[in-house]
Amino acid sequence: MKAINTIRMGGVDVLPLVEGGKGVAVSNGLTAGAWAAAGGVGTFSAVNADSYDAEGRTVRQIYTGRTRVDRHEELVAYGIAGGIAQAREAREVGGKNARIHANILWEMGGAERVIRGVLEGARGLINGITCGAGMPYRLSEIAREFGVHYYPIVSSARAFSALWKRSYSKVSDWLGGVVYEDPWLAGGHNGLSNGEDPKRPEAPYDRVRKLREQMRAFGLDDTPIIMAGGVWWLEEWDDWIDNPELGPIAFQFGTRPLLTKESPVSEAWKQRLTGLKAGDVLLQPFSPTGFYSSAVRNEFLQDLEARSERQVAYTSEPIGEHTAEFGVGPRKRPVWLTPADREHAVAWTGHGFSEALRTPDSTLVFVTPENAREIVKDQVDCMGCLSQCRFSNWTQHGPEFSTGKKADPRSFCIQKTLQDIAHDGSLENNLMFAGHNAYRFGSDPFYSNGFVPTVKQLVERILTGR
């Protein structure tokens, strides 16, 4: 394998190894600091990050506000306090010369307010901001304001072109690099466009080559591209290293840092990773963000899959083939289904899925009474963790703070489940994000006999090519 040399990124020389930011509370200051101390770029998640009390105990994010707007304000305050706490820990662990980045999601609730609050409260501790999940046009302005570099996360040359022409061309000096996140391989939320098929993955080389061509057209020949998604052994990317067609390339590791001594995830979670098989990570459309996302197929995802399968279209009046009357809700208000769908509805009801919940797409999904109560409670308890949420119909923009659409029971409260699994909650009944190569923990000899490396040992291993 070719030698792994340092790369110029954000005005300094670093190993071309970047820790991928994983929220909520999974990439923290300890992991980021350790990764940066090993010579790469450490990234902590500023997405609802943990903060600590005077005794160093994690402050659980409990919401007491009576309205969604009140709870949203609590969420923003938690986010700022947590981001500052993680930045301080990352700097303490990594040292004064460590390269520390903060990762945010543009579509998270109060994203601008949170990252501004974190950068203000942690001045001098953070070197860069990585940001995806949306089109973060204002990212460059925020970076310039605080004197840090910015690293947009994109999944195509077209997306970067739109960002550059609208905003980034005016703040080019602070562009530290561009993260290409493979939408078919990366864990967490993925940037699949409406024109791309989630079941037909495209090889990353040509997509990254097109991104480089677009960047060169904008005069960004020497700005690094950071390849994210599907990176495991660097020897498998040998033809990317020192490749003049691609220009300077760095590699981002999101999944592998989960299984380290410093990783804050539970021991049960780490153990689960070593037992995954190929195909156990599912690219699925259930996220309340509206994006596809990749997570371990467990009982939580199986329930969402089954819920969407127990679904029929309805009309409020008999129209066309919708001639079969069906009663919905406690008062059995009539809707009309096709005769075949009515048979399905009656069968599901007979099997205990007796609650029919309306969706924004004029369909009914059938769930148990217990599940229906949980869905409604989670919708009512919404704390505005997203800029807009299809599950609860929240939007952070007033005066109504509503998307104007029905809340969608086919989705879920993402804040609730990510907070729970990050703090030792159930591995079966929560969303467990992971990249599609996570099954390789079980076959990679590095992890033989249950070995769990430190971050330093992992980085040293990666530098061997393996």
DSSP track, 183-225: TTT-SEEE---TTS-TTS---HHHHHHHHHHHHHHTT-TTSPE
Burial status of residue 285 (CB atoms within 10 A of its CB: 0-12, 13-18, 19 or more):
middle
Mean pLDDT of 116-137: 94
In contact, 164 and 178? CB cutoff 8 Å: no
The least confident of 183-197, 212-226, 361-375, 451-465 is 183-197
Mean pLDDT of 332-357: 97
Mean pLDDT of 336-360: 97
Give which of 351, 326, 324 is closest to 338, Cα–Cα.
Answer: 324
Give which of 150, 115, 143, 127 is closest to 226, Cα–Cα.
Answer: 150
pLDDT band at 133 (very low <50, low <70, confident <90, very high): confident
- For residue 162, pLDDT over 90 is answered with yes
Cα(132)–Cα(212) distance, rounded to whole angstroms? 19
Query: Does residue 60 sit in helix, strand or coil?
Result: coil
Q: Which amino acid is at 419?
A: Q
Amino acid 24: pLDDT: 85
What's the pTM value of the predicted model, to 2 decimals? Answer: 0.94
pLDDT band at 256 (very low <50, low <70, confident <90, very high): very high
Instruction: Give the DSSP H/E element, type plus range, for residue 273.
Output: helix 267-274
CA max distance for the chain: 71
Mean pLDDT of 380-384: 96
- For residue 135, pLDDT over 90 is answered with no
| Percent of the residues in the chain that have a pLDDT greater than 70, as a whole number | 100
Cα(418)–Cα(425) distance, rounded to whole angstroms? 9
Q: How many residues does the chain have?
A: 466
Mean pLDDT of 125-141: 93
CATH topology of domain 7-274+441-463: TIM Barrel (3.20.20)
pLDDT band at 137 (very low <50, low <70, confident <90, very high): very high
- The pLDDT tens digits for 52-78 are 999 999 999 999 999 999 999 999 999
pLDDT band at 192 (very low <50, low <70, confident <90, very high): confident
Query: Does residue 393 sit in helix, strand or coil?
Result: coil
Amino acid 187: pLDDT: 93
Mean pLDDT of 272-299: 95
Amino acid 100: pLDDT: 98
Give which of 52, 46, 63 is closest to 114, Cα–Cα.
Answer: 46
Give which of 318, 286, 289, 315 is closest to 302, Cα–Cα.
Answer: 286
Q: What is the DSSP letter of 134?
A: S
Tokens found for residue 75? 């969420």
- The pLDDT tens digits for 210-240 are 999 999 999 999 999 999 999 999 999 999 9
Mean pLDDT of 27-54: 96
* Domain ranges (residues) in the chain: 7-274+441-463, 299-422
Residues contacting residue 141 through CB under 8 Å, at least 6 positions apart: 167, 171
Query: Does residue 460 sit in helix, strand or coil?
Result: helix
